[in-house]
Copies of this chain bind each other. A is one copy, B any other.
Amino acid sequence: MPCTSSWMILVTLINVFTVDPTNEQQIFELLTRPTKVSVRHAPGFVSASFHRSIDGTKVTMYAQWRSVEDYQAMRQDPAPLPFFQETLAIATFEPGMYEVVQTFTPLGEDA
């Protein structure tokens, strides 16, 4: 479940990359490499999980940051840009910036 608590409102990025299944592994590597090398060391980074769709057509990143400002500051770093440009050459990209509003578990709900 997303990592949230009542005392800290995180910003959540959910970015869906749609690909030809033959490119899925390449997209996965283009997205995870800069996360491993630079993004995860940026101030305010909380977590990033990478998901592969069972039908092979999507790679989706679910990431959380302490604040929008921390995320925007990371985007000024030129290191991940070549990976991102290579990704966009072979995938379509639907970005989303969110707040978690409600989480349910089998036992109940958190606002």
Could you tell me which A residues sit within 8 Å of B by CB distance?
1-4, 11-12, 14, 16, 28, 32, 35-36, 39-41, 45-55, 58, 60, 62, 64, 68, 94, 96-106, 109
State the number of copies, please: 2
Task: List 25 A-B residue pairs with CB atoms under 8 Å apart, sorted by A's residue number.
Answer: A1-B46, A1-B47, A1-B49, A2-B2, A2-B49, A2-B62, A14-B14, A14-B60, A14-B62, A32-B102, A35-B104, A46-B105, A46-B106, A47-B105, A49-B100, A49-B102, A51-B99, A51-B101, A54-B97, A54-B99, A58-B96, A58-B98, A60-B96, A60-B98, A94-B94
Residues of B within 8 A of A62 (CB): 1-2, 14, 62
Residues of B within 8 A of A68 (CB): 54
- Secondary structure at the A interface, as helix, strand, loop or mixed, is strand
Q: Complex: how many Å from CA A49 to CA B1?
A: 7
Shortest distance from the beta carbon of A67 to any chain B beta carbon, whole Å: 12
